[in-house]
Amino acid sequence: MQKLWVIRKQRYRETSALLTVLLDDNRLVRCLARGAGKVSEFQPLFGQLLTTKKLSNLSKIESVGPRLPLTGVELVSALYVNEITHWIIPEGAEVENLFDTYTESVKQVSLGEIGALRRYERWLLEAAGTYPVLDRDHHGETLRQGAWYRLHKHQELVEVNRAEPDALSSEDWLSLASSNYGCAATLRHAKWLHRSLIDIALDGRRLVSREMLTKSGKIQ
């Protein structure tokens, strides 16, 4: 038996479901769960996974605890966490601390902690090896105090005139580098930066949860 979260669910016939689950061994696995029509996301579960050459099957599903109290914008934000996890982490890849990081993140999202989204986005991008160095320029030099930089091809910082598009001060980049999401400006910059990097990582794939947040006028 393994502890797990349901990351993605598609109904299959009347009572079964095709699931993407996050296991406590830090892997994402696609599987068939018979008789699991009522299994839902954000419900901590136990289950037994049997893997064959063709398909993994999840059985003996049991609840570990209550479903996280998610409604409204917090629910859509948690669905966003699931969606980017599903598309960024390859199936079967073992990513150190993925289970615990995800668990803590959705719990914080349920409490309305916006910074949790930014931290999780960054953690996923770092796990995928696509998060740039933000405290050094493209020469590997320390950022100059009072200078302005932009991220060239989403990979490295180059010094520019402050009027350049997407230019931020060295102080802003260093605040982003240190994940200072208690600062409102850094939180705003992180949303712009992380969403851009995620779009690249997903090759422009549509994110339904982000569209839902945009339509609601409450973009997290």
pLDDT of residue 116: 95
Provide DSSP, 59-95: EEEEE-SPPP---HHHHHHHHHHHHHHHHHSPTT-B-
Query: Looking at the domain covering 72-132+170-216, what would its CATH class be?
Result: mainly alpha
* pTM as predicted: 0.91
Give backbone dihedrals phi and psi of 164, rounded to 5 degrees, phi first. -65, 145
SS (H, E, C) 8-46: EEEEECCCEEEEEEEECCCEEEEEEECCCCCCCCCCCEE
H or E element, residue 128: none
| pLDDT single digits (tens) 62-109 | 999 899 999 999 999 999 999 999 999 999 899 999 999 999 999 999
Domain 2-63 has CATH 3.40.50.300: no
Domain parsing of the chain, residue ranges: 2-63, 72-132+170-216
* Domain 2-63 identical in fold to domain 72-132+170-216: no
133: three-class secondary structure by DSSP: coil
- Minimal CA–CA distance to 2: which of 33, 26, 32? 26
Q: What are the tokens at 29?
A: 């696995």
CB 88 within 8 A of CB 124: yes
| Range in 18-32, 52-66, 117-131, 149-163 the model is least confident about | 52-66
For the chain, what percent of residues have pLDDT higher than 90?
77
Determine how β-strand 148-152 pairs with β-strand 45-51.
unpaired
pLDDT of residue 35: 76
At 133, which amino acid appears?
V
Residues 6+ apart with CB under 8 A from 50: 56, 57, 59
